[in-house]
Amino acid sequence: MAATKPWIESVHLHADVLKENAGTDIFALDLGPLADGSGAVAPVYRDAESFFRASYVTTGLKSLLDEVLKRLAGKGGAPVLKLMTPFGGGKSHVMAALLHAAKNYKALTVLPEAKGMPNPGAVRVAVIDGQFFNAQQGKEFDGMRTLTFWGWIAVKLGGKAAFELVRANDEARVTPGADDLLKLFGDQPNLILLDEVLEHLINAGGVKVEKTDLREQTLTFLTELTVAAANAPRTVVVLSLPSSQPRETMRSR
């Protein structure tokens, strides 16, 4: 029987890890700054091709990529996916993979595991990271300040014209209905990534909205969002939630 090689002779570490002056930023990723194009995010995460070259594609990640791309291409697939991971379970890395795959499908060609996955064409993408969305002041993009998740999603999917569809709801901080969201989605492929939502909900409880608060309005919006996504054949909503479960699971509406 041949002797088993020590793991250090069989495993080849990525060059970024082997650097003597490797920064800690390569070991952590925040989805919001990545989506916003922040230069503070490590280059290996910002560049789609570099990201996929440095990623180990697990069975779960391959399945998720295929499921989302299939839905975006209008070929079936679940409209709503929940990522349940413990702290440090890799959810931000998974969300980043979906972000890059939707915005730069060609970058997937570096992955043998991605061969044959559906190409959805140009995908509209909206990313919300609850850690980087101020409950009181909202968030600004391209000269427009949105106060709510629905305002931000509209701006990111369709710019000023799309924002006008929900402007009144955004200014009042009152959730739009599923029918309004369907108008926003249209027949185009839309990917909506929601990360660290709990962080935002905690802060949103302090923002009063008529006889309720922004937390309640946002929770209602999430329900309306899943209903609308289920009725838009090329729209996918991916929501990450903390969990005490030992490994990542996917659950669809």
Assess contact for 91 and 83: CB atoms under 8 A: yes
Digit-coded pLDDT (tens) for 63-84: 999 999 999 999 999 999 998 7
Average pLDDT score over the chain = 89
Q: What is the pLDDT of residue 164?
A: 96
- pLDDT tens, residue by residue, 174-196: 999 999 999 999 999 999 999 99
pTM assigned to the model: 0.87
Return the pLDDT at 107: 97
Domain boundaries, the chain: 24-252
Can you name the residues that pair with 85 across neighbouring β-strands?
A: 242
Q: What confidence score (pLDDT) does residue 247 get?
A: 35
Residue 44's alpha-carbon distances to 22, 25, 129, 133, 144, in angstroms, are: 12, 10, 20, 24, 30
What does the CA dihedral 45, 43, 157, 204 come to, rounded to 10 degrees? 70
Q: What is the pLDDT of residue 252?
A: 37
- Fill in the DSSP letter of residue 147: -
Helices (H) and strands (E) in the chain, counts: 11, 9
**Amino acid 27: pLDDT:** 55
pLDDT number for residue 249: 34
pLDDT of amino acid 245: 40
Q: What is the pLDDT of residue 244?
A: 43
The whole-angstrom separation of Cα 16 and Cα 28 is: 13
The low-confidence residues of the chain, meaning pLDDT below 70, are 1-2, 13-28, 85-89, 242-253
Tell me the Cα Rg of the chain.
19
pLDDT, tens digit (0-9, with 9 covering 90-100), for 206-233:
999 999 999 999 999 999 999 999 999 9
